[in-house]
Amino acid sequence: MKFIPRKTLVAIAAVSLLASACTTGDETDANTPGEGKAKVESVGLMLQDISNPFFAAMQTSMTEEAKKQDFKLNVQDGRQDLAAQNDQIDAFIQQGVDLILINAVDSEGIASGVARAQAAGVTVVAVDVDATGADAAVTTDNVEAGRLACQSLVDKLGGKGNILIVEGTPTTAPQERVKGCEEVLAKNPDIMVVGRQAGKNDRASGLALTTDMLTANADVNGIFAINDPEGLGADLAVQQAGRDGIVIVGVDGSPEAVLALKDDKSNFWATPAQDPGGMALKALEVGQEIVGGNKPADRVTLLNPTIVDRDNVGEYGGW
């Protein structure tokens, strides 16, 4: 063994002590990302319209999770108003929230608000619909939802007929559902779209727009609505008009849609089901990871929908 002089050992010890003194105590192992990072203590949840059962389910799941994890939750109703959501973002910035989960009323229009929040150091995760500039987004695979809904409609109509499309607000989810539907229609040239109008994602606009389109079109066999509320409004319009043989599909898998699927008087035929509560919790998880220093591998996380129709509704567990 090589002899090391005592003076050299003392010098080595001194260097080691100095190195230890210069550390902050905040360093983390490269193999354990996020350890020692900030914790999410306050969350702002922004929803398009809490009167919609879909968004109410998000609020419920987040309220329960806030109690479990012991973080502050502030829920705001956007009331389908872009200006209101911008004000809500500014309020969250003033409150110093760590994370905003945003269900935008306008995917592109909310971009300036998202940028203000991020400039203030707030992480922003879009939920259900994307938001321009958000750090991440968690949504249903809405293109697939549109495909499932319209394929079910096409199958029920036997590949032939005239249909109406009730579109929605300028957000990614309704737009992507229409895209998925159009992909199916492109493969079925005997299905003709004879009317289409954009609603507000609610039952009232579904009723009003469908009433107008039914008045203008005497021969209608089916209706694709971008969500269940609009689809149920369309169903009411069909019943009020005394029209028979019209097949209606929506998207959501909502409790109201389940009742319609079980109702012999309803024209509602199918709805690709989502999981609003689970979606909100996944967005929270992604947001917590980002605050902790871990960005997701993919900016957008897609959740798979499942088709529910009159034939299998008895097997559907619901929200």
The pLDDT value recorded for residue 31 is: 33
Q: What is the pLDDT of residues 16-63, one digit of tens each?
A: 333 333 333 343 333 333 444 479 999 999 999 999 999 999 999 999
User: 252 and 297 share a domain?
Assistant: no
Phi, psi dihedral angles at 208 (to 5 degrees) = -65, -45
User: 160 and 267 share a domain?
Assistant: yes
Is residue 4 over pLDDT 60? no
Domain annotation covers residue 9: no
The pLDDT value recorded for residue 37 is: 47
Phi, psi dihedral angles at 256 (to 5 degrees) = -65, -40
What string of DSSP letters covers the chain?
A: -----HHHHHHHHHHHHHHHHT--S----TTSTTTT-----EEEEEES-TTSHHHHHHHHHHHHHHHHHT-EEEEEE-TT-HHHHHHHHHHHHHHT-SEEEE--SSTTTTHHHHHHHHHTT-EEEEESS--TT-SEEEEE-HHHHHHHHHHHHHHHHTT-EEEEEEE--SSHHHHHHHHHHHHHHHT-TTEEEEEEEE--SSHHHHHHHHHHHHHH-S---EEEESSHHHHHHHHHHHHHHT--S-EEE-SB--HHHHHHHT-TT--EEEEEE--HHHHHHHHHHHHHHHHTT---SSSEEEE--EEEETTTGGG----
Q: Which two tokens stand for residue 248?
A: 């209606």
User: 125 and 191 share a domain?
Assistant: no
**Closest to 312 (Cα-Cα) out of 260, 261, 276, 265:** 261
More confident site: 36 or 168: 168
User: 234 and 150 share a domain?
Assistant: yes
Domain annotation covers residue 32: no
CATH number of the domain at 259, please.
3.40.50.2300
User: 51 and 70 share a domain?
Assistant: yes
Q: What is the pLDDT of residues 267-307, one digit of tens each?
A: 999 999 999 999 999 999 999 999 999 999 999 999 999 99
The pLDDT value recorded for residue 29 is: 36
Q: What is the pLDDT of residues 125-140, one digit of tens each?
A: 999 999 999 999 999 9
User: 246 and 151 share a domain?
Assistant: yes
Structural domains of the chain, count = 2
Domain annotation covers residue 150: yes
The pLDDT value recorded for residue 13 is: 39
Distance CA 151, CA 153 (A): 5
Q: Using DSSP bridges, classify how beta strands 306-309 and 268-273 pair: parallel, antiparallel or unpaired.
A: antiparallel
Is residue 170 over pLDDT 50? yes
pTM value? 0.85
- The model's confidence at residue 6, banded by pLDDT at 50, 70 and 90, is very low
The pLDDT value recorded for residue 26 is: 40
> Do 43 and 71 contact (CB within 8 A), yes or no?
yes
Domain annotation covers residue 161: yes
Is residue 12 over pLDDT 70? no
Domain annotation covers residue 116: yes
> Do 307 and 85 contact (CB within 8 A), yes or no?
no
Q: What is the pLDDT of residues 98-126, one digit of tens each?
A: 999 999 999 999 999 999 999 999 999 99
Domain residue limits at 129:
42-140+276-303
